[in-house]
């Protein structure tokens, strides 16, 4: 029979296909019986033990490998033993090559999909993945960012802290919670923490309070999109006020047609939307005024330098009418409370934003849905160690010549998974 297995020490003797599973029966090519491991006396054949293991799929079907495994007995001490087959992973009841193939794919596919392809249980796939994750945690280290982003993600039942490298648009790390109890030890133990020169985050105080004592060279920039979002929220507050005063049919019309219209920038309006905005100006002048205040605030970030931006904010604040638009007045107070960190946006060497991080929110939700409830640990690993994303935009750093490894394993040093590539993989279904 043609050798379909290509495994050392065994040869196939039968092949059957039933109910979408290929079963290959193989026999052991016996050599001289081994010596007794206890007394070194000769062993003699003492029956066999039939075993069944999973092997790599063939013809897009799971493969079961059935082997009559010889047993031996010592004629001197009576000890029995079963012949060792080095190509088997005894713990997983699978061939080592199948386990290796699962390790290669388990962070890019759903566990259920791999289970269907291989015939293994979902829990077995999960355990193989967990072993891989532990190895990656011990051997892979991403370069500490010079420009760091700190944001939050809502996934697997809680808010997590996501750390990014904004210079390379890549993921650096993910923390289980965004509390100071989780973040402070992370920054305290961060390798090369003096490398961090800029941190971009929102106005949530625990972020700054967590890293402030441990990143001596870091300067904070409050994320632009978290600031301008407050202007959009202020406009939405005004829209809802006007909407609530309308009849039901008119209310639905306003919600559907005006909400997205007023949230858009003028440059992105179509000719039809420009005409619609003119109707809003004539029909709901107070809402149009609120729209103009939103746009004027956005325009602050269009200024080319810090001095112009500060003057633009002052002019915007002074133009706010007393007793009207309370959310815009609240926004002005927020800017004053975070003045230095907001306007540091123009001091940074590049225009810093966590915009790419926002794309991860959709990505992890897709992964969680496809995985039918992955744990936080699994989603974290799929995000941090996605192999294809790590190949794109991730450069290896060579250690200094004088650096002597402290163990037999040479650590990899990369910049981390490229966020746009992660999003592309998710959109195409390649990141499960």
pLDDT digits (tens, 9 = 90+) for 180-204: 999 999 999 999 999 999 999 999 8
| Residues 219 and 363 grouped into a single domain | yes
Same domain, 246 and 285: yes
Do 151 and 198 have their domain in common? yes
Instruction: Give the residue, 192 or 77, on which the prediction is more confident.
Output: 192
228 and 341 belong to one structural domain: yes
Quick one: average pLDDT of 305-315? 98
Over range 73-86, report the average pLDDT. 80
- 77 and 173 in a single domain? The answer is no
Print the domain residue range for 254: 224-346
Average predicted confidence (pLDDT) for the chain: 84
- Indicate if the pLDDT at residue 425 is higher than 80: no
Could you tell me if 148 and 199 lie in one domain?
yes
Count of domains for the chain: 3
Where does the pLDDT of residue 409 fall: very low under 50, low under 70, confident under 90, or very high at 90 and above?
A: very low
- End position of a domain, from candidates 286, 316, 346: 346
Predicted pLDDT of residue 411 = 46
Q: SS3 for the chain, per residue?
A: CCCCCCCCCEEEEEEEEECCEEEEEEEECCCCCCECCCCCCEEEEEEEEEEEEEEEEECCEEEEEEEEEEEEEECCCCCEEECCCCCEECCCCEEHHHHHHHHHHCCCCCHHHHHHHHCCCHHHHHHHHHHHHHHHHHHEEECCCCEEEEEEEEECCEEEEEEEECCCCEEEEEECCCCHHHHHHHHHCCCCHHHCCEEEECCCHHHHHHHCCCCCCCEEEECHHHHHHHHHHHHHHHHHHHHHCCCHHHHHHHHHHHHHHHHCCHHHCCHHHHHHHHHHHHHCHHHHHHHHHHHHHHHHCCCCCHHHHHHHHHHHHHHCCCCCCHHHHHHHHHHHHCHHHHHHHHCCCCCCCCHHHHHHHHHHHHHHHHCCCCCHHHHHHHHHCCHHHHHCCCCCCCCCCCCCCCCCCCCEEECCCEHHHHHHHHHCCCCC
Per-residue pLDDT, averaged over 138-148, amounts to 90
Mean predicted confidence (pLDDT) in 132-147: 90
Q: Tell me, yes or no, whether 129 lies in a domain.
A: no
For the segment 366-406, what is each residue's pLDDT rounded down to a tens digit?
655 655 567 788 888 888 887 767 765 555 444 443 343 43
Tell me what percent of the residues of the chain surpass a pLDDT of 90: 44
* Domain C-terminal end among 346, 376, 401: 346
Is 402 a domain residue? Answer: yes
Tell whether 21 and 165 lie within a shared domain: no
Model confidence, pTM: 0.77
Residue 164 has pLDDT above 50, yes or no: yes
Residues 312 and 362 in one domain: no
Q: pLDDT, tens digit, for every residue of 339-361? A: 999 999 999 988 888 877 766 76
Q: What whole-number percentage of the chain has pLDDT above 70?
A: 84
Examine residue 112 and state whether it is found in any structural domain, yes or no: no
Q: Mean pLDDT throughout 259-277?
A: 80
Using one digit for the tens of pLDDT, what is the confidence trace for 318-334? 999 998 999 999 999 99
Q: What is the mean pLDDT of residues 124-143?
A: 91
- In a domain? residue 420: yes
CATH number at residue 392: 3.30.420.10
In a domain, 121, yes or no: no
Q: Are residues 203 and 231 in the same domain?
A: no
The answer to whether position 4 is within a domain reads: no
Q: Identify whether residues 250 and 167 lie together within a single domain.
A: no
Average pLDDT on 235-256 reads 69
pLDDT in tens, 198-223: 999 999 888 999 999 899 999 999 99
Give residue 374's pLDDT: 75
| Whether 358 and 218 share a structural domain | yes
Using the 3D structure, point to which of 320, 346, 372 is the last residue of a domain.
346
Question: Is position 113 within any domain?
Answer: no
Same domain for 332 and 295?
yes
Whether 104 is covered by a domain: the verdict is no
Q: Find the mean pLDDT for residues 139-158.
A: 86
């Amino acid at each position: 029979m043609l050798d379909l297995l290509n495994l050392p020490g065994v040869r196939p003797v039968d092949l059957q296909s039933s109910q979408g599973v290929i079963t290959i029966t193989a026999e052991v090519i016996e050599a001289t019986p081994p010596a007794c491991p206890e007394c070194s006396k000769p062993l003699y054949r003492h029956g066999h033990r039939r075993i069944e293991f999973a092997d790599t799929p063939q013809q897009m079907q799971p493969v079961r490998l059935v082997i009559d495994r010889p047993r031996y007995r010592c004629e001197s001490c009576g000890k029995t033993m079963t012949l060792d087959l080095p190509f088997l992973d005894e713990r997983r009841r699978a061939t080592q090559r199948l386990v290796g193939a699962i390790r290669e794919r388990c962070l890019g596919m759903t566990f259920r999909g791999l289970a269907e392809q291989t015939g293994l249980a979902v829990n077995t796939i999960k355990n193989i993945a967990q072993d891989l994750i532990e190895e990656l945690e011990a051997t892979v280290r991403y370069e500490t960012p010079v420009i760091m982003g700190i944001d939050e993600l809502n996934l697997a039942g809680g808010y997590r802290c996501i750390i990014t490298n904004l210079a390379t648009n890549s993921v650096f790390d993910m923390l289980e919670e965004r509390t100071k109890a989780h973040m402070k030890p992370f920054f305290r133990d961060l390798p090369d923490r003096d490398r961090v020169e800029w941190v971009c985050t929102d106005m949530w105080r625990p972020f700054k309070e967590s890293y402030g004592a441990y990143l001596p060279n870091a300067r904070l920039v409050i994320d632009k999109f978290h600031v301008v979002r407050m202007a959009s929220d202020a406009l939405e507050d005004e829209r809802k006020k006007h909407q609530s005063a309308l009849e039901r049919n008119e209310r639905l019309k306003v919600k559907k047609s005006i909400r997205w219209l007023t949230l858009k920038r003028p440059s992105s309006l179509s000719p039809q939307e420009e005409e619609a905005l003119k109707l809003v100006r004539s029909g709901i002048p107070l809402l149009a005024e609120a729209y103009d205040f939103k746009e004027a605030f956005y325009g602050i970030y269009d200024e080319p330098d810090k001095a112009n931006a500060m003057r633009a904010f002052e002019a915007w604040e002074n133009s706010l009418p007393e007793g009207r638009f309370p959310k815009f007045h609240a926004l002005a107070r927020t800017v004053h409370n975070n003045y230095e960190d907001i306007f540091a946006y123009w001091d940074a060497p590049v225009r810093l934003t966590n915009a790419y991080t926002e794309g991860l929110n959709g990505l992890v939700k897709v992964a969680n849905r496809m995985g039918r409830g992955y744990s936080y640990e699994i989603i974290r690993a799929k995000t941090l160690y996605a192999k294809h994303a790590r190949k794109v935009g991730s450069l290896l750093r060579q250690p200094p010549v004088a650096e002597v490894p402290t163990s037999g394993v040479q650590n990899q040093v990369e910049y981390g998974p490229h966020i746009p590539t992660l999003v592309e993989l998710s959109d195409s279904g390649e990141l499960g």
